[in-house]
Amino acid sequence: MLFVVDVPVRVFAVATADEARVAVDGAEARVIACYGAVVEAEGAGGNVTELAGVLNEAGVLLSWARVAFENGEYDLASEFSSNCTGMLAGFTDRAVTLRDSAAQERSLDFMVNIVGSTVGAVAVVVAGWVLWVYLKRKYGKAGSAV
C-alpha cells in the first residue's frame, strides 16, 4: 500500500535587510500618498470616516513593519509591509472618487441655493407687483370716491 500525504509546504523566503528596507519604505510611501488623497477628499467635503479607518489600520501594520525591521526580523518586516500595501490597493482611486463626488455635490448644492434664492426673490417681487396692481385697481376706484 502506498499512502500519499498531501502536506502543504511553505517555502520560507529569507528576506535580506535591503529587501526589507525597500518593502518598508515602499509601504511608507504608499501610506503617505494615501494620506494625501484622504486630505484632498476631506477638503472637498467628503465623508472620509471609512477611508481614515483603513488608513489607520495600514499605519498600524507599517509601524509593526518598522519595529520588526529595527529588531532584525526582515521576513516579518517584509510581510507586514506587504500586508500594508495590499490593504491600500485601490485606496487612492476610492479617495479620488469620493473627492470628485463631494465636489459635485457641493457644486449642486451651491447651484440649488443660488437658483432657488433667485427664483424665490423673483416670485416674491412678481407676486407683490401683481397684488399691488390688483389692490390699486380695486381700492383705487373706492379711494377716489371718498
Q: What is the pLDDT of residue 137?
A: 85
- Taking only the tens place, the pLDDT of each residue in 35-60 is 999 999 888 888 898 999 999 999 99
pLDDT reading at 74 higher than 50: yes
**Domain coordinates of the chain in residue numbers?**
17-110
In the chain, the percentage of residues whose pLDDT exceeds 70 is 86
Q: What pLDDT band is residue 16 in, cutting at 50, 70 and 90?
A: confident
Residue 98's contacts (CB-CB under 8 Å, 6 or more residues apart) are: 41, 44, 46, 47, 48, 51
- Taking only the tens place, the pLDDT of each residue in 77-111 is 999 999 999 999 999 899 988 888 888 888 777 77
